[in-house]
Amino acid sequence: MHTISESDVHTNFSRYALQKDTSLDEKEMLMTVIRHTNTLFNYSLLQDDPSKTITCYKLRGQVLPIADLLQTALPRVKNIFLYRDVVGYVDSNLHLMAEGRYWKYWLQIALKRDIKYVENIGDIVFPAPWDVPVFTSIPVTHGVVWFFACIWLMFMKKANELTKDDPHKCFHVILRYDELCRYKEGMVLKVMDILGIGCRDKDAKQKIREVFGVDSQAGHRLSSRGPSGGGSWVGDWEMGIILKVIEHANMEINQPDFVSNGTLTHI
């Protein structure tokens, strides 16, 4: 299987589509570009290794708002929506900001340096939380916890819209990290079965299980636990901000562990 991780071009497609009211002609043009991009990616990968006939694209969360557009442009592509609850999402980004060092996180929060941090990365999502009146009016510190809680809420609101009436209109599989980590190889094989991907390897279960014990980002700044390891940094103070964001925004996403319609919760 070929893999493409978090390509900038797909993120830019989403940014283009969301930054203005696009006409029908512009949407058709964008879908044509998406199709050609997909063809070029696949052609390049197949030239490199023709024995791998499946390509897996891991897209950033920022691409979720155009999932319906992507599905329309590429109707033969199988889509998986993998998400986590707000605590896991916020915690992962706290670790990323502080490079896995709790003392650094504590210092950034105490000195309100996290506010500057989110100002510098505000362009990772459109619209940014401070451009959304319902978020700017929330009476909490508009730092890193508020920022990523708002982003999670925007993503889940869009996911809820896409899955509310027909959960599999855009996504062939909807999955949470919780169940993926709980069932491991069993869930992976279940997803493969749903997608129609055959597995003839007798050692498949063992090989998949081994993957769950490997930190693919070890030594990289994106490694969520960082050099010091450790558990969640979301305590009472952080949770208070998260709950205030969810309550104040009132976007039908009323729980930190909200489960999107159609989520595969067991095998």
**What is the average pLDDT across 212-218?**
65
More confident residue, 175 or 205: 175
Classify the phi-psi angles of 112: left when phi > 0, otherwise alpha if psi is within -120 to 50, otherwise beta.
left
Cis peptide before 75 (omega within 30 of 0): no
**How do the domains of the chain map onto residue ranges?**
1-77, 82-264
Reported as a single tens digit per residue, the pLDDT across 38-88 is 999 999 998 999 988 889 999 999 999 999 999 999 999 999 999 999 999
Q: Is residue 217's pLDDT more than 60?
A: no
pTM equals: 0.89
Q: What pLDDT was estimated at residue 215? A: 62
Q: Which of 12-21, 100-109, 253-262 has the lowest mean pLDDT?
A: 12-21
